[in-house]
Amino acid sequence: MTITAAADGSALGNPGPNGWAWYIDDDNWGAGGSPHGTNNQGELQAVLELLKATAGSDEKLHIWCDSRYVIDSVTKWMPGWKRRGWRKSDGGPVLNRDLLEGIDEAMRGRNVEFSWVKGHAGDDLNEAADERANAAAKAYQQKQEPQRGPGFTRGGGATASAPARESTKAPEPLAPAASTPPASASPLWAEASDLLDGLDAPAAEPITLQLALTGEEHARLRDRAEAQGVSIEQALRRLI
């Protein structure tokens, strides 16, 4: 059986008061935050806290996220970052390294899979996690203690294998996350995303390009830019 949970983050001002939350069902969820942080930090913290809360279970953990930054960081970019001593391909430091290292450690020896689900689209699990993360951020904004939830009450072993609450929509499946690269991997090996990360070849002649992006596309581009520590324009240039 599989534990299925949504993890989400929120930041008022980005950066500003932020919150995180993970949600399995009404009896199994957790939330928290900080007076100051980014949305990406909240997203990562939600995943880390979920991994910690379910550490006593030997069941597979399926995490649904609406942040491609989180999923790509853990499933695509992290092996390359680790090989380079937590440096990006351009030599710059990896942002949110402490949270990423915590996630990497918490996943070791566990069967963890990530799937992307569109945010604010009516998905039950995602909406529940988003609501609690946003409430936690608002609590810190008002200098109040957030509702932290009951935590993971199923316990370990067979109890944790009870069927998870189903959502109204199926997420986009992704390959299971690997906390470490294969032992046979060559030091020169890189994911395709690693090849794009840090690539910024100038054009022979400057060209003015205008693009119309949806809100979701702009958010994904912003997350990628923050992950790489560059401006949105630079992140778009690297993709091109």
Candidate list 9, 30, 33, 80, residue with the active-site label: 9
pLDDT value at residue 164 = 36
For the ranges 147-151, 222-226, 236-240, the maximum mean pLDDT occurs at 147-151
Candidate list 72, 130, 194, 223, residue with the active-site label: 130
pLDDT value at residue 173 = 47
Q: Which of the residue ranges 13-27, 68-82, 223-237 would you say has the lowest mean pLDDT?
A: 223-237
- Does 218 participate in catalysis according to the annotation? no
Per the model's pLDDT, the better-predicted residue between 196 and 12 turns out to be: 12
Candidate list 98, 120, 172, 233, residue with the active-site label: 120
CA distance 186 to 32: 40
Per the confidence metrics, is the pTM higher than 0.85?
Answer: no
pLDDT value at residue 39 = 97
- Does 197 participate in catalysis according to the annotation? no
Candidate list 30, 32, 42, 66, residue with the active-site label: 66
Q: Within the chain, where are the H helices?
A: 39-53, 68-72, 78-83, 97-107, 124-141, 192-196, 215-228, 232-239
For the chain, give the mean pLDDT.
80
CA distance 120 to 215: 12
Domain boundaries defined on the chain: 2-185
- Does 104 participate in catalysis according to the annotation? no
Candidate list 32, 37, 42, 43, residue with the active-site label: 43
Q: What percent of the chain has pLDDT over 90?
A: 63
3-class state of residue 203 by DSSP:
coil
pLDDT value at residue 166 = 37
Mean pLDDT over 78-104 rounds to 96
- Does 66 participate in catalysis according to the annotation? yes
pLDDT value at residue 165 = 38
Architecture of domain 2-185: 2-Layer Sandwich (3.30)
pLDDT value at residue 98 = 98
- Does 90 participate in catalysis according to the annotation? no
Give the residue from 233, 53, 77 showing the smallest Cα distance to 153: 53
- Does 130 participate in catalysis according to the annotation? yes
Per the model's pLDDT, the better-predicted residue between 167 and 3 turns out to be: 3
pLDDT value at residue 227 = 62
What digits encode the pLDDT tens for the residues 155-176?
A: 643 333 333 333 334 444 444 4
